[in-house]
Chain A
Amino acid sequence: AQKVTQAQTEISVVEKEDVTLDCVYETRDTTYYLFWYKQPPSGELVFLIRRNSFDEQNEISGRYSWNFQKSTSSFNFTITASQVVDSAVYFCALSDPNFNKFYFGSGTKLNVKP
């Protein structure tokens, strides 16, 4: 079965701290895609990154970085030097090869305090 687990329900940090959000997934597909979305208080899900199952290269985009490890079925997300504007709920998601069914984790609420 397809499943995404985000064990951290809520994390609180002080501004400028680094924070890592964990994501573990299960799938029987050999080709699959992993995503991270941000859901600010306004409610609209915002796409952050996509990674396919054949590309285990880590990626950095500004203060954001992602660590994909197929051996441990994990796709973790790190925010460096967190800011108050990073406060949101972050969702990890797993997609079938055709991008038609997304399986979301339960989300991690990140609180960044000034």
Chain B
Amino acid sequence: DTGVSQDPRHKITKRGQNVTFRCDPISEHNRLYWYRQTLGQGPEFLTYFQNEAQLEKSRLLSDRFSAERPKGSFSTLEIQRTEQGDSAMYLCASRSQGSYEQYFGPGTRLTVT
């Protein structure tokens, strides 16, 4: 068990470009979560999946953001037409059904120039 992994770890992009991040949860964890963390703040909930179903989305998740988990394993988070305000650390976490503990990945740090 290698833990939650995220790719890439860092991404620098120009405003207006699209970016996609990947999260690989711990195997057999059926719940997967995305958070955004800006400098000096705690993580903010964005969305979560139970298997392949996206069950809840935060109001923070504008129309430019989309997340998928097509086979109930890895997940992708895409941001279209990036803005400077999207610069943040994007964290992924997973947990198994019946467990309370979310295991966090190392995050993807996005910088929009």
CB distance A99 to B104 under 8 Å?
no
CA distance A4 to B42 in the complex (A): 10
CB distance A44 to B104 under 8 Å?
yes
Produce 1/0 per residue, B28-60, CB < 8 A to A.
000101010000111111001000000110000
CA distance A37 to B101 in the complex (A): 11
Q: A103-B45, A106-B42 known; A44 and B100 CB under 8 Å?
A: no
Across the interface, B105 reaches (CB within 8 A) one of A44, A95, A99, A102, namely A44
Whether A66 sits at the interface, judged by CB under 8 Å, is no
Interface residues on chain B, size class: 20 to 34
CB distance B43 to A43 under 8 Å?
no
Q: A44-B107, A100-B56 known; A95 and B43 CB under 8 Å?
A: no
* CB within 8 Å: A-B pair count: 55
Whether B67 sits at the interface, judged by CB under 8 Å, is no
CB distance B107 to A43 under 8 Å?
yes
CB distance B42 to A91 under 8 Å?
yes
Produce 1/0 per residue, A79-110, CB < 8 A to B.
00000000000010101000111111111000
Nearest-neighbour CB distance to chain A for B42, whole angstroms, equals 3
Whether B27 sits at the interface, judged by CB under 8 Å, is no
CA distance A46 to B45 in the complex (A): 17
Nearest-neighbour CB distance to chain B for A101, whole angstroms, equals 5
Which of B42, B99, B104, B107 has the most CB atoms of chain A within a 10 A radius of its CB? B42
CA distance A1 to B1 in the complex (A): 37
3 tightest CB-CB pairs across the interface, nearest first? Answer: A104-B42, A45-B104, A99-B100
